[in-house]
Chain A
Amino acid sequence: MQKAIKINREEWNRLLIKLSDAGEHLYAPVRHNGVFDYELIDKESIGEIIYNEAKPASPLKIFFLPVRLNVTMGGKAPGRIVIIGAPACDIEGLKLLDAIYIDEKYTDETYLSRRQNSIIIGAPCHKTAENCHCTIYGVNPWPGDGCDISMSSSGEDIILTTMSEKGTGFVNEIKSLVDAQDPGAGDMDRITRLQEASAAEVTDKNDGLPGREETGKLIEAAERSFWKEHSSKCVSCGACAAICPTCTCFLLIDRPGFEKIKQQDTCQYPAFERVAGGEDPLKELSVRFHNRYMCKFVWKPERFGVLACTGCGRCIDACIAGISKNEVIREMT
């Protein structure tokens, strides 16, 4: 059952200092030189945490799928981490990651241990960013299942709502360290209004952008010439995949002693699918470009029954060629 507590912001900051001093690894978004991203928080930076803005620059997957990891030398989570301020789009993306990495037959223990050793404190977006389009794919800009606690700032207060057993456990842990109260109906109404205003803003600014299923159909129907034209500026840098909360492909690199290094990879790089004999289904740039859209909107949803694009818009922010996935999709309609 969900339970909400209200903590005064100064009291909350003192709590975070206590937790940090006790050795808890707290990650939260702060802004440096205009970039808003997660950082390991300490006494000095606790006051700089930004609450309830749109997504941080890095997707949530960075905590569970390190860019490079030796998977034969343990590779499990070094300890518990608390992630403060995860946006709903990224939390939704974890469903696909879980489906791939925690399956009945082959569970990746390095991933599972990181999931088990994390407390995800999700944050509803009270503000939206330029390319946010979560609502178009049915994702609300506030966390639902998939996080442990939902956190909203309301005036001078922080309101924590438990969303999982793990979250309830964490709130029980901190309650002895902090002066917490029950939030009033007014607090909850205010949060709801802010969340819903964000949702309306995201929906309005993406007016006419087709939903996920329709997008899948459009992608399947688009001609080869369409992909050739729209991929012509792509430089195969892979930024769209690196920054995507649901892209998880990797390369295995061998080291002496039969060690294996797992390193982030992407189908956007040339030779991703090439076999020794020389055949390469993704040899052409336009085919690789098309592959990414098919994977996100057709194959992964078909295979796993979950979203593979949660509408965070980071791929649009990150593209050095200025390709907007949403503009490409609008061109199909």
Chain B
Amino acid sequence: MKKKTKEDKGKGLYKVLKAKVDEIIDESPLIKTFVMTPEEPFKFNTGEFIELTLDGLGEAPFTPSSSPFITEKLEVTIMKTGYITNKFHDLKPGTVMGIRGPFGRGYPVDRFIGKEILIVGGGCGLAPIRSLLFTLIEMKDQIEKVVLLYGSKTPTDCIYKPMFAKLNSIDKFEIYRSADKPDGTEWDESIGLVTILLDQPRVNMENSIAVVCGPPIMMKFATLRLLELGFSDNDIFLSMEKNMSCGLGKCGHCMMGEFFVCKDGPVFTYAEIKHSPEIWK
């Protein structure tokens, strides 16, 4: 693989790397995973994001949901929520898309060594978390424990269903799920907002960090609950969702106070951004 140098990176900032869609997986009625083969191996760190272009139609930021240890394939999980994501959902295998990136600052996994890691995810926010989980599986000898709390609107909206059974069988990994409301499909886990899963002690507070990713409203209430539980501002890692357009800290669309979320984030500690304006919008 051609290693990107700092010098290369500055050139052709807006050029894409082409990637062919091999497979499209229906995760839920609104969420699909696109499995792609980039025209050259694509390296990223977990939590960093890419700009994915649909030729001539538009571009949007996504954090890959696949393992950063696999560079020949790339997976991106997309919720149908606006103009361009609707277009993505209409795609068929064989389509060639464009990738720019990786951009930003991902999860500082070195800080997770020796820790118990409490992960709170909601909806399509499980996509970046899945990539993090793949990383933590590789690191499992260096960490104490991983507790994943995941909430979806209904049991049908729960994504990556086949992954959960596998995760539960891995030593040091515990998974708990909730659905906001039942929908008649089989569900033997909790009913309620994901924050109810925080009502029981899951980790040793003396040696834990927390990761939160999901819709802004869920991130807000999960963070407030984690603070109540005693997590320090520095130990809560948030993956922020903003209008990251250029990915380069230039276009200004993702500015949050003095931060460019695309360049300084998207992963921040709560301590870093708690004084920034409108962080939950």
Contact = CB atoms under 8 A, between A and B. Distances in A.
Interface of A: 71-72, 100-101, 103-109, 248-252, 254-258, 260, 262, 265, 267, 272-283, 287, 294-295, 298-300, 302-303
A287 B277 CA distance: 10
Contact of B252 (A71, A108, A249, A283): A249
Q: 10 closest pairs, A vs B, by CB?
A: A276-B82, A249-B252, A256-B56, A281-B278, A107-B10, A303-B258, A299-B258, A281-B281, A260-B14, A106-B248
B251 A252 contact: yes
Interface of B: 6, 9-16, 18, 53-60, 81-85, 98, 215-216, 241-243, 245-246, 248-259, 263, 277-278, 281
A108 B14 CA distance: 9
30 contacts: A100-B250, A106-B9, A106-B248, A106-B249, A109-B10, A109-B13, A248-B250, A249-B251, A251-B253, A254-B54, A256-B55, A258-B15, A260-B59, A262-B14, A265-B251, A265-B252, A272-B252, A273-B243, A275-B241, A275-B242, A276-B85, A277-B241, A278-B81, A279-B216, A279-B241, A279-B281, A281-B278, A294-B257, A299-B257, A303-B259
B117 to A, nearest CB: 26
Given A249-B253, A299-B255, A273 B6 contact: no
Nearest to A101: B250
A283 to B, nearest CB: 8
A258 B9 contact: no
Contacts of B56: 254-258
A71 B82 contact: no
Contacts of B13: 71, 106, 108-109
B237 to A, nearest CB: 20
B16 A272 contact: no
A252 B10 contact: no
B281 A250 contact: no
Given A71-B13, A106-B9, A260-B14, A250 B251 contact: yes
Contacts of A251: 245, 251, 253
A258 B16 contact: yes
A257 B16 CA distance: 10
Nearest to B251: A250
A106 B250 contact: yes
A256 B57 CA distance: 8
Contacts of B83: 276
Contacts of A265: 251-253
Given A105-B10, A108-B13, A278-B81, 6 more contacts: A257-B56, A260-B14, A260-B59, A265-B253, A282-B278, A294-B257
A299 B264 CA distance: 14
B131 to A, nearest CB: 20
A58 B37 CA distance: 47
Given A252-B251, A254-B58, A281-B278, A276 B258 contact: no
A252 B241 contact: no
B219 to A, nearest CB: 11
A298 to B, nearest CB: 8
A54 B192 CA distance: 65
A291 to B, nearest CB: 8
Contact of B98 (A106, A108, A258, A272): A258
B263 to A, nearest CB: 8
B270 to A, nearest CB: 17
Contacts of B6: 104-105
B221 to A, nearest CB: 15
A100 B246 CA distance: 13
B81 A100 contact: no
A95 B243 CA distance: 26
A272 B85 CA distance: 18
Contact of A252 (B14, B18, B258): B14
A94 to B, nearest CB: 15
B55 A258 contact: yes
A105 B9 contact: yes
A275 B245 CA distance: 10
Nearest to B54: A254
A302 B14 CA distance: 28
B245 A277 contact: no
